[in-house]
Structure 1
Amino acid sequence: MPSAAYVSLFDDQAAAYHQFRPTYPPQLYQVVLEYAQLARQTICLDIATGQGQAAVELAKRFKQVIAIEPNAKQLQHVVKAENITYREGSAEATGMPSGSVNLVASAQACHWFELDSFWVEVQRVLAPQGAFAIWGYDLPQVPGNEAATNVLWHMENVTLGPYWSDRRKLVTGHYRECMPKDGMFADVNHVELDSPLTLTVTQLVGWVSTWSAYATYKRKHPDGPDPLPPFQKEFMDACGDVQEETYIHLILPIFMLLGKQIAQ
């Protein structure tokens, strides 16, 4: 699937995406900045920002964030801040001046990019001593509850399994196949961390409703049974005495690609 072809997958869930997609822990941004050791935190480019879940946090740490997103409907729901500029744009042609960006960031999106062109663009826009941080997350786990974790796994891999793009393998492979070519950047690292995440049952089901595979299922079966209600019932049964607004403690596996501009 070419990069441009995935954009419409997120049209129908734009409002739910804003409401239910998880944010990222402070630990993640700490790892990024400790790794990058930037001389300046002036301009950060957030690629495929979605609705600004990462951009709004990056804006607390950089003077200016340029957040680009190819889906216009996503941009209708962005989290605003005075030092964030949102605009339509692609990962492969950001429109940023060469050598202008201190940090290139992208959250849960790299698997959709045309990777060769993307990495050339990152290399082009990064300033001397600049760095990149590309991250994503895998299926959450319910610690101490194998049955509930298995319900999540079954929803992802069986119920919705046939409806994922073939790009999904890049996520389940934790972006190891998304690495830039040798020699393009310095000190490239693959980092993994487990992040605590607390959601109500309603929020978790809402999150599943934003998955691209669910959107594809709904488009292919507009009159078919909705898999969300049975998933919710099975998950709640596996969790025991819970209600829709009961908070569930999860672990979110996060993986990161970190690298630096080669010194000129």
Structure 2
Amino acid sequence: MANRFFEGAAHAAAYAKFRPLPPISLVERIVSFAKETICMNKNVSIKKTMQAEPLTGAADVGCGSGQSTEILSPYVKAVTGLDVSDAQVLEARKLSKHPNVSYKVSPAETLPFPDKSLSLVTSCQACHWFDMPAFYKEVDRILVPGGVLALYGYLFPKPIHKDYADDLYNLIDHLYKEQLKGYIHQGSKEVYLGKYGDEKYTLIYKDQLRDESHYVDKTATVAELTGYLTSWSGFQNFRAKNGDEAAQKILETFQDRFLKTLKVTTAPEETSIDLRFHYFLLMGRKPLE
């Protein structure tokens, strides 16, 4: 059964506002890998994969507020985002901009698609909450022969600064590992610390690859960076157990230390910082019949 750490409407809104969009280079790598099957079936040069016809159908499982779903729209005829949380799906529907994208409430372990009906299944920063054997069984059921499963995630944002990059990053790392110690779910550690390297994430298909070359840069205020931290499940666990006042104190302390490290006197809302999110990607292709 999937865990339900992202149920609250306020948490869903924070997730939508502060989480990064996947880099276009990563999405195009996924689509290119998936389109290789079309090229092989139609004897088209693999070098021209992105010019091949659009994929017929894709599902983005654990879609959250839709960042990783909407970005598939240009490459797939019909995209469905799925999440176990009603609040997340509601937020995704509110933000959706593409007519070929739809959203449904659904657990990862019972996917609402016919057998052999989709060309692509993706999951961004979500599968650590799944029952992986049950999820893999469902993916194998719904993928067409030659269809692709892509699992990916991103690490803590790394501040980009000519003088204080390491010191600023250490503040984020300290908050996660020390101040929220005891509130971090094991699955979260398997993303940020393990990059899905645990055996349970081993893909079920032999034709597979791992790619860690993609990243996205984002400029944010220190206040927005702090907002991103509130979207962590570990922070939400801390807040639920210790209350709003204690949670607010953690955030204020983080902001104060961050601004002091930057050696600025401007307000968090007026202080900008460049952040780099590094991604990791695992992909596997279902065998052709």
Does TM, scored on the shorter chain, surpass 0.5?
yes
Q: Partners in 2 of 1:63 and 1:38 — Cα distance?
A: 16
Counterpart of 1:250, as a letter, is: L
Of residues 23, 26, 37, the one that matches 1:25 is 23
Q: Partners in 1 of 2:16 and 2:157 — Cα distance?
A: 19
Higher helix share: 2
Is 1:74 the counterpart of 2:88? The answer is yes
Residue 51 of structure 1: aligned partner? 65
Q: Partners in 1 of 2:121 and 2:143 — Cα distance?
A: 7
Q: Partners in 2 of 1:24 and 1:9 — Cα distance?
A: 19
Residue 231 of structure 1: aligned partner? 254
Q: Partners in 2 of 1:54 and 1:197 — Cα distance?
A: 16
* Deviation readout 1:211-252 (Å, 9 max, x if unpaired): 101110011001652211111111122223354233311221
SS of the aligned residue for 1:195 comes to strand
1:22-171 equivalence runs, <5 A = 22-36=20-34, 37-39=36-38, 41-78=55-92, 79-80=95-96, 81-143=98-160, 144=162, 145-171=165-191
Q: Are 2:6 and 2:12, in contact at CA under 8 Å, matched by a contact in 1?
A: no
Of residues 2, 7, 10, the one that matches 2:4 is 7
* Deviation readout 1:183-202 (Å, 9 max, x if unpaired): x3131212112332322212
Residue 246 of structure 1: aligned partner? 271
> How big is the shift at 1:9?
4.1
1:213-232 equivalence runs, <5 A = 213-222=234-243, 224-225=245-246, 226=248, 227-232=250-255
Q: Partners in 2 of 1:206 and 1:85 — Cα distance?
A: 27
Q: Are 2:80 and 2:101, in contact at CA under 8 Å, matched by a contact in 1?
A: yes
Is 1:260 the counterpart of 2:285? The answer is yes
Q: Partners in 1 of 2:5 and 2:22 — Cα distance?
A: 24
Gaps of 5+ in 1: none
Gaps of 5+ in 2: 39-53
Q: Partners in 1 of 2:113 and 2:270 — Cα distance?
A: 43
Identify the range of structure 1 (112-121 vs 171-180) with the bigger mean alpha-carbon deviation.
171-180
Q: Partners in 2 of 1:60 and 1:246 — Cα distance?
A: 35
SS of the aligned residue for 1:121 comes to helix
Residue 208 of structure 1: aligned partner? 229
Residue 179 of structure 1: aligned partner? 201
Q: Partners in 2 of 1:62 and 1:9 — Cα distance?
A: 27
Q: Partners in 2 of 1:23 and 1:49 — Cα distance?
A: 12
Identify the range of structure 1 (119-128 vs 233-242) with the bigger mean alpha-carbon deviation.
233-242
Q: Are 1:38 and 1:129, in contact at CA under 8 Å, matched by a contact in 2?
A: yes
Q: Are 1:119 and 1:180, in contact at CA under 8 Å, matched by a contact in 2?
A: no
How many residue pairs are counted as aligned between the two chains?
259
TM-score (norm: length of structure 1): 0.92
Structure number with greater Rg is 2
Q: Partners in 2 of 1:180 and 1:127 — Cα distance?
A: 20
Q: Partners in 1 of 2:5 and 2:189 — Cα distance?
A: 20
Counterpart of 2:65, as a letter, is: Q
> How big is the shift at 1:258?
0.5
Q: Are 1:176 and 1:190, in contact at CA under 8 Å, matched by a contact in 2?
A: no
Counterpart of 1:56, as a letter, is: E
Runs of 4+ with >4 A deviation: none
TM-score (norm: length of structure 2): 0.84
